[in-house]
Homo-oligomer: A and B are copies of this chain.
Amino acid sequence: MVVFVGVNELLSMVRARGPETFISGLVDYVEHDFRRWTAFDKTPRIASHSDIGVIELMPTSDGKLYGFKFVNGHPINPKTGRLTVTAFGALADVKTGYPMLISEMTLLTALRTAATSAMAARALARPDSRTMGLVGNGSQSEFQAHAFKALLGIDRIAIFDIDPAAMDKFEANMAGSGISIRRAKSAADAADGADIVTTVTADKTNATILRDGDVGPGTHLNAVGGDCPGKTELDAAILENASVFVEYTEQSRIEGEIQQMDKDFAVTELWKVLSGKAKGRTSRDEITVFDSVGFAIEDFSALRYLHDSLSGKRRTLDLIPDLDNPKNLFGLLSIEKATLVA
């Protein structure tokens, strides 16, 4: 039987530990996997585009486990009460090819994105960073805030969203979090004086959320929202004057902020910084950018973390036949039904 983790189970787990503890544990898994980056099969995600959205598969394997995520991106969905991004995925045993776990990954993707952002910032931001500008206060924003508090001790956040209701929602959700929140008047105002600036907007356009002059010396920019062709958030001039770090160069040149730059624009893969093979920040005044698009290994780490976190009796699915004689698949049809029902 294959274990199933639905929305309700995952919510129970995150509530029981608290989001910051859950995310901190997840960071350990993502970082462990980034440090053994070369052990993984890697491929850019396989996308099926339509006029109004995209459906993608994101597989990877470390030779022992295989994981993949199904994820959609439909910016128009909220108009009909649906989520822009939903996801689910599976973990399988490479030795047998059998699936072990099917899980919801809408919530898990928000958690792993926040975990990866904070992991990158811990490696790239100034160690004394305590303030963050947070531009875009949609579905991912609170997860980002909790992750940065948990990993870097961020305790003051300036928020901005073109939709005031999104800022209201953020403030309501973060009440009691111990983070002091300021409502900024613009993206530039949110970035003003911030040690770290996170951009996590949703428009599927080449937007310029921040201009070069908006970002002060020594800032770490956590650029999360630019994550598919034709969807960017940053002024190209910011990238020209910064050190840019990416997950997987081949995919980021298609999907990230660096799709605006020449094909030979210098970037450093984050795993090299985490494993000591490349330098991160080299001075207090340098601007560092994590041009995040989300990569399959992060989902793999999240599924692995989830699988290792399961305890007690779990829900299971009869997804794979269990046969006395594995060469007699047809025989299933002649077995009495009563003996099969789980």
Q: Which residues of A contact B (CB under 8 A)?
A: 4, 6-8, 11-12, 14-15, 19, 41, 43, 46, 48, 50, 52-55, 57, 59, 61, 63, 66, 68, 70, 72-74, 77-78, 80-84, 86, 88, 90, 92, 94-99, 102, 104, 106-107, 110, 138-143, 166, 169, 173, 317-321, 323-334, 337, 340-342
Contacts and interface: CB of A to CB of B under 8 A. Distances in A.
18 contacts: A6-B318, A11-B340, A43-B46, A48-B94, A53-B96, A55-B94, A57-B59, A57-B68, A68-B70, A70-B99, A74-B97, A83-B323, A83-B326, A86-B99, A88-B320, A139-B330, A166-B327, A173-B330
A84 B325 CA distance: 11
B330 A142 contact: yes
Contacts of A341: 8
A51 to B, nearest CB: 9
Contact of A139 (B14, B104, B327): B327
B55 A320 contact: no
Given A7-B321, A84-B326, A86-B99, 16 more contacts: A6-B342, A8-B341, A55-B66, A55-B92, A68-B70, A70-B99, A78-B326, A78-B327, A88-B99, A102-B102, A106-B320, A107-B332, A110-B330, A139-B326, A140-B329, A173-B330
Given A14-B333, A317-B6, A55 B61 contact: yes
Nearest to A18: B333
A86 to B, nearest CB: 5
Given A8-B340, A8-B341, A334 B72 contact: no
A318 B8 contact: yes
A154 to B, nearest CB: 16
Contact of A329 (B15, B63, B139): B139
A108 to B, nearest CB: 11
A92 B332 CA distance: 28
A48 B99 CA distance: 14
Nearest 4 Cβ contacts at the A-B interface: A72-B97, A142-B330, A6-B318, A139-B329
B340 A52 contact: no
